[in-house]
Amino acid sequence: MALSDYHYEMSHCHRCSYCKFIPFQLIKSKRFSYLCPSITLRNFHSFSAGGRAALGLAIAEGRLDQYTEMMKQIVFECTMCGACQVQCRTFNFNLNPIEVMQALRTHFVEQGEIVPEHMFVIEGLKREDNVFGEPKKHRGDWAEGLGLKDISREKVDVLLHVGCRMSFDDEFWSVLKMAVEIMQCSGLSVGIAGSEESCCGGRALEMGFEGVFNTFAEAMAGRVKASGAKQVVTLCADCYGTFQEHYPSHGWGLDAEVVHITQFISHLIDQGKLKFKNKIPLSVTYHDPCHLGRRGEPGVQWKGEYKRLAPHLFGPVPEKPIRLGRNGCYDAPRDILQAIPGVELTEMERTREYSWCCGAGGGVLEAFEEMAEKTAHERLLEAEATGAQALVTACPWCERNFRDTLDSSGGSLKIYDIVELVHQAMGGE
């Protein structure tokens, strides 16, 4: 939908500032009461969902005859974590700030108001099918010698979609290998697309390049269909969220169930196919990746408009599904952590739908270093406040950003991918 299609939503923002905080029912302390990384960093109301809606409205109504660098910053210096979407409903049930912000980005891109770093990501993506512009042919290098099935040659039960980050950031290759080992406990045939895998397109969409996203989504859908897989498993929350939310909401379906590795593992534990031999005496806290949690909630394509239901009473016709992030993947990782002997889980103040973002998403890591780092730092402080020894998460983007931030800020907190703990508990090396 174009920006102007969100006129009703943009013009009904209450300006109540709820989009900046976690729901006031749930605030546990002043220190961790904010939930929007943007407003926390930049302070101008413009950098909140409400501010962005007003900016979108001004543009849609032709009140602005120019685009400025500041406006671009307002629109793009946001991790698209979706926290505002969860909060916003307090005073108005008709608003969808994250959709408005997505439309705003797409509009800016259409207008050529592009963040240069994003443009180069997209250029690389178009050339090499990954967000780093790395040579496509190396995409499957991590799997060398693992004997995984190639979906272009044979049909598989499970397609492991690795995603750009894990494919090209070799620090994660060991995690991938562990994941493969764990997945093989299932007895199912697991395949990969190897060098022919391409980006899910989620980053492109959230950077505002909807056309590019559609191209990748179409390719992805074709690839999954051709593989014959019943399940697509991913270790990357970004990919997971893209498949769960963005694909359906843009009319793309995957002919397979999309499963995050934590859900896959959790299921293996339930089935008794995965047993833990080792005790891991570790106190941990778990970070909900936004795109696994609130933005991992299944999306729905809505085609309708706001109509007058009665005098002064307008509403979406047909009813627009209300998305509050509650149906994201929250329990599987927690179930796993609780199943691992010795691991003690302490929750942070902001969890589940109200998780504070890691700072890597929505094109921020690529273009807005300060925000990526400060946002991660805030989360690390919150994790430290729980007294846990380690921060566990389930997304390579979060991990990357946490690790880099920890490197520069210092601190004794350890960062784990949940797969590492599972593998260790299984008795792996």
Give the footprint of other proteins on residues 218-247 (CB under 8 A): 218-219, 222-226
Closest approach of Cβ 280 to other proteins, in Å? 28
Round to whole Å and give the CA distance between 194 and 96.
37
Contact between 374 and other proteins by CB under 8 A: the answer reads: no
Residues 25-44, one symbol each (x = binds other proteins by CB under 8 A, - = not), give: xxxxxx--x-----x---xx
Choice between 241 and 328, CB closer to other proteins? 328
From 163, 316, 361, 362, residue interacting with other proteins (rule: CB under 8 A): 316
User: Within 59-98, which residues bind other proteins (CB under 8 A)?
Assistant: 63-64, 66-68, 70-71, 74, 86-87, 89-94
In the complex, the smallest distance separating the C-beta of residue 103 from other proteins, rounded to whole angstroms, is: 10
CB of residue 311 vs other proteins: minimum separation in angstroms?
A: 5
- Going by the DSSP 8-state scheme, the letter that residue 350 receives in this structure is S
CA distances to 8, 10, 82, 127 from 3, rounded to whole Å, are 11, 9, 18, 29
d(CA 164, CA 59) in angstroms, rounded, equals 34
Q: How many CA atoms lie within 13 A of 198 on its CB side?
A: 23
* 211 is a contact residue toward other proteins (CB under 8 A): yes
284: closest CA among 360, 426, 384, 396?
A: 384
Helix or strand or coil: residue 128? helix
Cα–Cα separations (whole angstroms), residue 201 to 43, 98, 134, 151, 215: 31, 18, 16, 20, 8
* CA distances to 93, 176, 244 from 192, in Å: 42, 12, 20
- Ramachandran area for residue 346 (φ above 0: left; ψ -120 to 50: alpha; else beta): beta
Q: Does 346 bind other proteins (CB under 8 A)?
A: no
Question: How far apart are CB 94 and other proteins at their closest, in Å?
Answer: 6
End-to-end CA gap in the chain: 49
The single residue among 12, 230, 403, 414 that binds other proteins, judged by CB under 8 A, is 12
Which of 134, 141, 146, 314 touches other proteins by CB under 8 A?
314
| Contacting other proteins within 94-133 (CB under 8 A) | 94, 106, 109-120, 122-124, 126-127, 133
Give the nearer residue to other proteins in terms of CB position, either 273 or 326: 326
Q: How far is the CB of 295 from other proteins (least distance, A)?
A: 15
16 lines the binding site for other proteins (CB under 8 A): yes
Q: Which 281-310 positions form the footprint of other proteins (CB under 8 A)?
A: 306, 308-310
Distance, in Å, from the CA atom of 316 to the CA atom of 325, rounded to the nearest integer, reads: 20
Residues 379-418 that bind other proteins (CB under 8 A): none
Is 356 in contact with 382 (CB distance < 8 Å)? yes
State which of positions 145-164 bind other proteins (CB under 8 A).
152
Q: Which is nearer to other proteins, 70 or 342 (CB)?
A: 70
CB 88 within 8 A of CB 19: yes
**Would you say 206 or 417 has its CB closer to other proteins?**
206
Is the CB of 28 or the CB of 275 nearer to other proteins? Answer: 28
Which of 408, 353, 411, 422 is CA-nearest to residue 382?
411
Segment interacting with other proteins (CB under 8 A) among 16-24, 162-170, 178-186, 398-406: 16-24
